[in-house]
Structure 1
Amino acid sequence: MRINFDFSDLEAFLAVMDTGAFHTAGETLNLSQSAITRRIQKLEAALDSVLFERTTRAVKPTLVAKRLKVRAEAILEDAQETTQAMRDESVAFAHQRNAVVTVAIIPTMVAGIMPVAIARFRGAGQAARIRLLDLDANGVAEAVSQGEAEFGICSIAVGERGTEFEPLMDDPMVLALPKGHHLSGRTPLDWGLLETEALILPSRGTGNRLLIDDAMARARLRHSWTFEVHRSSTALELVAGGSGVALVPRSAITPALATKLTWRPIGAPEIVRPVGLLTRTGQTDMPAVAALKEAVRRAA
């Protein structure tokens, strides 16, 4: 059955019921008396019922009108609540869309964590934009401590004042090898086997190099590098091209790179870098920041 009346017709009907007169109802709704009359006639035609008995002196509601009044009030109240709720949600969503969450992150963690975390973040209804600052571990710590990023994802608990480190996962250092390399059949690899290889190491001062140097010093082992590079991605491109072998975090070897090279674990001393969230001490997170942090935790 088609419904041939709308909310404005019900509003006119209730105004007549409340005021007892068509012209007064028109003044209440800022409409002419003839406009009120047309709306009531439309409603009567749709309901196939007379709603008001009109005389020159008074407008008297019929029994049908009295029964309709309760339902019309409920219909309009529900419509107003629905409209307000949708407006509130639209405002909230627009605010989320305009919000920006800035995350400082070491590049090797981008592929392994962020796509999954972002999918969870969006799945939870979050619409904030995300700005990623891909920096080394020291850069991440500096960006967080100086307020340039809401939080960071870094590889070591950098001792930057005013920050807190929350461990998420352990990321082992492995040896990346060209496809078909003669060491690819050995597991795990002995450090002594690297003495005759063109070894690619992270640059001095980077978090990964600090971990490697510390582990080698504690084990009283010596290493000699052939290439130093700042980013793990650069080291892996050299490996894929056959220039040497590289000590890199396992997380740096993405599925796309795994088609170009292979990797093997290193024997004692094993090197594992902790990866976690870096946050300013005492920071109060906005809802979008807290939601993205939780998505990162679950992704890790």
Structure 2
Amino acid sequence: MDLLSLRCFQVVARHEHISRAADELRTAQPSVSRTIARLEAELGVPLFDRRGRRIHLNRHGAAFLLRVDRALAELEDGRRELADVARAGGGGEVTVASETLLTLTGLLARFRAARPGVDVRLRQASADTMAHLLRTREADLCFASQPLAGPALESVVLLTEEVLLAVPRGHRLAGRDRVAVAELAGEPFVTPGRGHWQRVLAERLFDRAGVRPTVVCEGDEPGAVLDLVAAGLGVALVPALARESGTRDIVAWAGLASSDARRELRLVRAGGAYASLGARSLADFAVGYFGDASARAGGAAGGGGTGAP
């Protein structure tokens, strides 16, 4: 049993698909299959259930994966710790994940100006994938607008803000302070795909109001939502900070009459993991940056006619 075999198993277990795992590992499918077969023979139990060309992690594989994740994470922590020692006097490195990278653009612009020696790497990922990236140490920090599953994860709230209704200019709801969710029944709705925090929030609000959203556009590009609203395709839930961006004037805004129409942005990391110099630097900087952003958003909400419900 060697590290390459364990890494191969880890990737296959995540995808439950040989060809996708082979693509990520940049190796041939037969090689991946042979590696898994050798590992199973060495362990004496099957790790996957096979149904034709499909494979599924079984209970033995799930139990083994927990140990493999922990072992490889410890080794990665050791690599990062020694890397910090080796670049004594340097800025270090940090890998960051977020549901949408738009959340990080302003932060990283300020951070790179203040800490030019830190090597920052970015990944866009769903909530489930971010939790996995933290457990396997493929990410140091995650910026999440919904809870990430995992008992070993630690988080700190960076920002709590109102979620507003973005509507096309001239829309019947434009400028309203308190729009009941029930009033949105039948309105064409623009939203990111299932699993994204805005979609999760929308489904919760509509469910409580006893109405179903008429989704006319969904996808994996949250940054395109305002442009789609401006084009007249529908309305959307958008965090209040979006009004401070350069695109705020292309749509009109309304407040929602719901105390649940809020976003809580959290900085999440793996508890007990080695925090690299770069990760510590960015985490500290993010706390200050989003604290300032929250204060700015509060001022804007107070003067913009769409006060918190």
Shared fold, TM over 0.5: yes
What are the residue-to-residue correspondences of 1:90-101 with 2, within 5 Å? 92-93=88-89, 95-96=90-91, 99-101=92-94
Aligned pair partner of 2:194 in 204, 209, 217: 204
In 2, Cα distance between equivalents of 1:264 and 1:112: 24
Contact 2:128 2:149 in 1 (8 A): no
Structure 2: distance between partners of 1:204 and 1:170: 22
Q: Do residues 228 (structure 1) and 222 (structure 2) align?
A: no
Residue 203 of structure 1: how far off its partner (Å) = 1.9
Q: 2:53 is matched with which residue?
A: none
1:217 aligns with 2:201: no
Provide the TM-score with structure 2 as the length reference: 0.59
SS of structure 2 residue aligned to 1:167? strand
Q: Say if 2:109 is the partner of 1:115.
A: yes
Aligned amino acid, residue 256 of structure 1: G
Mapped to 2, the partners of 1:219 and 1:181 lie a distance apart of: 22
Q: Deviations over 1:104-134 (max 9, x none)?
A: 1232412353333444x42xxx612111213
- CA distance in 2: counterparts of 1:275 and 1:289, whole angstroms: 18
Paired residue secondary structure (2:214):
coil
Q: Is the 8 A contact 2:152 2:271 kept in 1?
A: yes
* Match among 271, 274, 278 for residue 281 of structure 1: 271
- Displacement, 1:150? 1.0
CA distance in 2 between partners of 1:277 and 1:185 (Å): 32
Aligned-pair distance for 1:253?
5.0
Matched, 1:104 2:94: no
Selected match of 1:249 from 239, 252, 265: 239
Pairs within 5 Å for 1:133-152 = 133-152=123-142
CA contact (8 A) 1:172 1:271 kept: yes
Taking structure 1 as the reference length, the TM-score comes to 0.60
Q: Deviations over 1:239-262 (max 9, x none)?
A: 121221112233445522113223
**1:221 CA displacement:** 4.0
C-alpha distance in 2 between matches for 1:253 and 1:147: 35
Rounded Cα–Cα distance in structure 2 between residues aligned with 1:282 and 1:147:
11
Tell me, in whole angstroms, the C-alpha distance in 2 between the residues paired with 1:286 and 1:208.
Answer: 31
Larger radius of gyration: 1
Give matches, 1:185-204, under 5 Å: 185-204=175-194
Q: Distance in 2 between matches of 1:180 and 1:207?
A: 27
Separation in structure 1 between the aligned mates of residue 106 and residue 130 of structure 2, nearest angstrom: 17
Contact 2:167 2:253 in 1 (8 A): yes
CA-CA distance at 1:222 after TM superposition: 3.5
Which residues of 2 match residues 50-199 of structure 1 at below 5 A?
92-93=88-89, 95-96=90-91, 99-107=92-100, 108-119=102-113, 121-122=114-115, 127-199=117-189
When residues 241 and 254 of structure 1 are mapped into structure 2, their CA distance, relative to the original with a 3 A threshold, is farther
Structure 1 155/261 Cα, relative in aligned 2: closer, same or farther at 3 Å? Answer: same
How many corresponding residue pairs? 203
Deviations 1:44-97 (A, max 9, x none): xxxxxxxxxxxxxxxxxxxxxxxxxxxxxxxxxxxxxxxxxxxxxxx744x43x
Are 2:181 and 2:205, in contact at CA under 8 Å, matched by a contact in 1?
no
> Is residue 189–residue 264 contact of structure 1 (8 Å, CA) maintained in 2?
yes
Distance 1:281 1:92, change over 3 A: closer
How much has 1:284 moved relative to structure 2?
2.6
SS of equivalent to 2:215: coil
Q: Could you tell me how far apart the structure 1 residues matched to 2:242 and 2:285 are?
A: 21
In 2, are the aligned partners of 1:109 and 1:251 still within 8 Å (CA)?
Answer: no
Distance 1:253 1:138, change over 3 A: farther
Q: Secondary structure at the match of 1:275?
A: strand
CA deviation string 1:177-198 (max 9, x = no partner)? 2223232131122223322422
The one-character-per-residue Cα deviations of 1:272-292 (angstroms, maximum 9, x if unpaired) are 121111101112312222111
Q: Secondary structure of 1:225's match? A: strand
Counterpart Cα distance in 1 of 2:106 and 2:182? 31
**Equivalent residue letter for 1:111:** T
User: What is the CA–CA distance in structure 1 between the aligned matches of 2:205 and 2:232, rounded to whole Å?
Assistant: 27
**RMSD over equivalenced CA pairs, Å:** 2.4
In structure 2, the residue matched to 1:45 is none
Indicate the percent of aligned positions where both proteins have the same amino acid: 26
Gaps of 5+ in 1: 1-90
Quick check: 1:153–1:277 contact (8 Å CA) kept in 2?
Answer: yes
